[in-house]
Amino acid sequence: MVLEVKTIGGYSECGRNCTAIRVDDEVILLDIGLEMENYVKYQQTDRDNLQRVTYDELLEVNAVPNVHLLDEWKSMVKAIVPSHGHLDHIGAIPFTAPLFPNAPIISTPYTIEVIKSILRDERIRLHNRLIAQNSNTTYKISDKIKIEFVHVTHSIPHTATVVIHTPYGRIVYANDYKFDLNPLLGKKPNFARLKELGEEGVDLLLSECLYAHVPMRSPSEAIAKQMLKDVLNGTDVEGKAIICTTFASHIARLKILIELAEKMGRKVVLFGRSLGKYIDAAERIKLVNFSKRVDIVTRRKAIEQYMRKINKVGADKYFIICTGHQGEPRAILSRIANGELPLNLKQDDMVLFSASVIPVEVSIANRAALEANLHKRGIRFFTDLHVSGHGHREDYREMLQIVKPKHIIPCHAGPSFAANFSDLAQQLGYKEGENIHIMENGKSFKLQ
Ligand SMILES: [Zn+2]
Ligand SMILES: [Zn+2]
């Protein structure tokens, strides 16, 4: 009898999430994500764009999880199970899944659609089968392993807390969630099922721990809507261009923006390839139907043409949503700000950042450069019209109290973050070393 967890990625750093669960001679991999800072740096500096990126190159710069840590488990991998479609959970699949060609990739419909888009984009063909499984349903991987996708809220549709049912115990993998009672797109978290699981008995909870040091409940998406509304209704926008930027995968936020813009009587246009990609994935599974109401323009020539039209008609007739909230140099907003694109902006036009700066070196520098460019041109900008998709200390407390796990492993970030989660768990009576386990990459924990 073996029930064992091996930490592959996301335990010594933030990102490149990957956790292996072994049940006798079968293994499943939960998430195979990118470490975004290393990945972006590599894309920007070291990479010859014409060359196909390989797993080994990305491992060298620590952008992908080190699956060599699986050792003899490698040949036992039976399935890859992503929890949701963010790149720090699925982004390394195109490069890593070929090492496990017989393992199907099983996740919620939106997550599977996003993986398909990335594969198309990177022109990578996987042998792995892709299986879409609705939230709040169970999938049988083998006689000994069943996985269940319990719906939770986050900043991308169809996020799941994955439950691994085995004859030797039950593991709950809650990597990325917040408890949002007003998600504005999609359902509330499935509290009823989480409660039931708590009663049935959970042997181990793996939980994100990024904001265990922030003593609050993560604000609802409805708060982000109110922040945006306050700016748009409380500012004199007459005659002004309005450009808003947010995460391309944040479909709920895009929905809010489109609705607010329509109420203002402006024509909504979205510029940027990644916006097109994530919206397309959402439309393919009929989650939203934005393209019926708004223009989505993704190709460079078409974007330039559309911008010339805006100049002619008047920018105040439009509401522009575009990529570039982190100041990425090649994204639309940076290119508008430095005059590379033909959109005419004038003094006092407005830029709304519906995103916060990701606190890593590259993003901080890129955003500072973008803001300096906007400032130079006299453009007003509004930052942090945003709420996080991650839980905070009080969300984590609720998860612990509902699920009542016997053991706890904090994940998604290194030991200093895990220590904050441990502090919370200790307040609830858990003990470090006994039933709270602070890990690093490449460690294992045996339940059986
Ligand atoms: Zn996420
Ligand atoms: Zn994440």
CA of 350 to the centre of ligand 2 (A): 30
Give the ligand whose atoms come closest to the C-alpha of residue 208.
2
Q: How far is the CA of 183 from the centre of ligand 1 (A)?
A: 15
Q: How far is CA 173 from CA 17, 44, 108, 150, 213, in A?
A: 12, 33, 15, 10, 20
Q: How far is the CA of 153 from the centre of ligand 1 (A)?
A: 10
Q: Residue 121 pLDDT > 90, yes or no?
A: no
177-221 pLDDT per residue, tens? 999 999 999 999 999 999 999 999 999 999 999 999 999 999 999
What CATH code would you report for 221-382? 3.40.50.10710
Q: Give the integer Cα–Cα distance in Å for 442 and 428.
A: 28
- Model pLDDT, residue 41: 84
> What share of the chain in percent tops pLDDT 70?
98
Ligand nearest to the CA of 413: 2
pLDDT at 199: 98
Q: Which amino acid makes up residue 391?
A: G
What phi and psi, each to the nearest 5 degrees, are found at residue 21?
-120, 125
CA 200 to ligand 1 centroid distance, Å: 27
Task: Report how far residue 351's alpha carbon sits from residue 322's, in angstroms, rounded to the nearest whole number.
Answer: 10
Q: Ligand 2: distance of its center to the CA of 178 in Å?
A: 12
Q: What is the pLDDT confidence band of residue 43, given thresholds at 50, 70 and 90?
A: confident
Q: Regarding beta strands 18-23 and 3-9, do their DSSP bridges make them parallel or antiparallel, or are they unpaired?
A: antiparallel
d(CA 239, CA 364): 31
pLDDT(14) > 80: yes
Per cent of the chain over pLDDT 90 is: 94
- For the chain, the structural domain boundaries read 3-217+389-446, 221-382
pLDDT 10s digits, 269-320: 999 999 999 999 999 999 999 999 999 999 999 999 999 999 999 999 999 9
Handedness of CA 91, 357, 287, 412 (dihedral sign): positive
Q: Which residue has the higher pLDDT, 46 or 359?
A: 359
How far apart (Å, rounded) are the C-alpha atoms in residues 232 and 380? 13
Q: How far is the CA of 15 from the centre of ligand 2 (A)?
A: 6
Give tens-digit pLDDT for 228-277: 999 999 999 999 999 999 999 999 999 999 999 999 999 999 999 999 99
137-140 sheet: strands from edge to edge: 137-140, 146-152, 159-166, 169-174, 204-208, 407-411
From the CA of 88, which ligand is nearest?
Answer: 2
Q: Is the pLDDT of residue 366 over 60?
A: yes
Q: Is the pLDDT of residue 352 over 60?
A: yes
Q: Give the Cα separation of 288 and 88 in Å (integer).
A: 24
DSSP string, 433-448: TTTB----TT-EEE--
Cα of 89 from ligand 2 centre, angstroms: 6
* Mean per-residue pLDDT of the chain: 96
**What is the Cα–Cα distance from 148 to 55, expressed in whole angstroms?**
29
Q: How far apart are CA 413 and CA 225, in angstroms?
A: 29
pLDDT at 47 over 60: no
Sign of CA dihedral 52, 54, 60, 66: positive
Q: How far is the CA of 411 from the centre of ligand 2 (A)?
A: 10
Does the domain formed by 3-217+389-446 have CATH 3.40.50.720? no
Evaluate if residue 123 carries a pLDDT over 80.
yes
Residue 52, pLDDT score = 74
Instruction: Give this prediction's pTM.
Output: 0.96
Can you tell me the distance from the alpha carbon of 318 to that of 336, in angstroms, rounded to the nearest whole number?
15
Question: Which ligand is nearest the CA of 9, by number?
Answer: 2
| pLDDT above 80 (res 323) | yes
Q: How far is the CA of 347 from the centre of ligand 1 (A)?
A: 37
Residue found under tokens 């990335």: 118
What would the DSSP string read from start to end of 108-120? -HHHHHHHHHHHH
